[in-house]
Amino acid sequence: MAILIECPKCGKRHGEREKKVNLNGNGKSVSLVPRQNCTCGFGLGKAGAKVYWIEYYLKGNRKRERIGPNRAAAEHRLREVLSLRTENRYIRRTKKQKFSDLTAWYLDQPNIKARRSNERDEFSIKNLRPFFGSRYADEITPGLVDAYRTKREGELSRLNKPPSTATLNREIACLRRILNYSLAEGKIDDTSLGRVRLPKEHNRRSRVVTAAEYHKLLEFCLPHTRNAIVIGYLTGMRVSEILNLKWDRIDLDAGFIRLKKEDTKEKAPRNVPLYPELIDLLQSLSRHPGHDYVLAMDGKPIKSIKKSFKTACKSAGLKNLWFHDLRRTRIDMWESLYNTYLIRAAVGHAIPKADEVHSRYIVITDLRLKTLVAGSPDIILDF
């Protein structure tokens, strides 16, 4: 039984020690010394990318298992195998999976496909695969993740600038999620990743939309994009909530959009009050026989308005404007006029832990929520 080292250059596996012939006056002697070089000439003494294997014999047959970059893990596995062999118990081979195989399996899982962030995961995996794809799951260590971050920071995105801290954090979080999910589902036996600290993101925005900008934007929008913008501006709803909105969630008689927990990011039901202008808009929209979605283009549900929104902003001469800025604008308008708890209930923001107990004594009713839409929707403050 022995621990072997795999050469990072040629892939050959050698014992950790090699024979050395010592010549002296009494003849020659042979001793074992730490192996310094592979037969290809590559230095193994300080190689950072070397991989450890274990070798043992079972019923006269030689067995080898690939362990990974951690020598302590190789020693632990070797002791475990020796103990099992001595007790004549079954030796279960460790599960070895390359990261590229895990990602293909991960993306094919039904519950992963149903995740809201599935599209984002696919984008992250596209960047992760070139670096981690050929590596086994147990080789992915915090040091390797740091090397990946350094490499990505030196690349340019399609916007001709390095990826942001938030982008890299999403990619590393995706990597961690894949490994943890694979471990939970029994695809791998262990992961060497451990806890990886994600740098703090400094991406807070303060962009709001003035009434003049809002009405100018509507002039250059396609009809389906225009309807989404009006709903977003008058309710503060997220774009995903708007595009997935169905007719059975709309209560025009009471003047509310009643979202269920499966419709919201916070996984909690929410009642959104409607301005009279928005009620008129919803009443003017026609239903489609093939589906129950409120917004559609050519009779089909809309999956994204990212491109059309960007085109409209460019045509209107509006710079640095995101759809989510409509949500910020609505919250900012309400904030100086109405109760904060009402606003959080309408837009789906969590109650801070410090206020959690106090919030239990505040009853949010439809009547109180309706006060948010009692005034003009174009109340623009001095930002």
Out of 144-153, 175-184, 300-309, 373-382, pick the least confident: 373-382
**Is pLDDT above 80 for 9?**
no
pLDDT, average across residues 63-75: 81
HSE, side-chain direction, 13 A CA sphere, residue 199: 14
Give the pLDDT of residue 183: 82
- CA gap 311, 226 in Å, rounded: 12
Beta pairing partners, 20:
31
Give the pLDDT of residue 33: 61
**Is pLDDT above 90 for 373?**
no
What is the DSSP secondary-structure string of 215-251?
HHHHHT--HHHHHHHHHHHHH---HHHHHT-BGGGEE
Write the DSSP symbol of residue 350: P
Confidence band of 383 (pLDDT split at 50, 70, 90): very low
Q: Which CATH architecture has domain 211-373?
A: Orthogonal Bundle (1.10)
User: Percent of the chain beyond pLDDT 70?
Assistant: 89
Please tell me which of 11-25, 70-84, 105-119, 258-272 the model is most confident about, judged by mean pLDDT: 258-272
- CA gap 67, 95 in Å, rounded: 10
Give the pLDDT of residue 382: 35
Show the DSSP H helices in the chain as ranges.
71-86, 99-107, 110-113, 118-132, 142-153, 165-184, 211-219, 223-235, 239-243, 276-284, 306-316, 324-335, 340-347, 356-359, 366-369
- CA gap 38, 57 in Å, rounded: 24
Give the pLDDT of residue 381: 37
Tell which residue, 29, 82, 35, 77, has the closest CA to residue 54: 77
Give the pLDDT of residue 349: 83
pLDDT, average across residues 193-220: 85
How far does Cα 38 stand from its chain's mean position?
Answer: 41
Q: Say if CB 177 and CB 211 are below 8 A apart.
A: no
Tell which residue, 16, 129, 142, 128, has the closest CA to residue 71: 16
Q: CA dihedral in degrees (63, 69, 71, 77; nearest 10)?
A: -40
Q: Length of the chain, please?
A: 383
Q: Rounded to the nearest 5°, which phi and psi values hold at 98?
A: -75, 150
Q: Say if CB 175 and CB 132 are below 8 A apart.
A: yes
Mean pLDDT score of the chain, rounded to an integer? 84
User: pTM of the entire structure?
Assistant: 0.64
Q: Is the dihedral of CA 168, 171, 176, 177 positive or negative?
A: positive
Report in angstroms the alpha-carbon separations of 223 from 130, 305, 337, 377.
41, 11, 32, 20
SS3 57: strand
pLDDT, average across residues 15-39: 63
145: its two tokens: 């993740």
Give the pLDDT of residue 348: 86
Confidence band of 27 (pLDDT split at 50, 70, 90): low
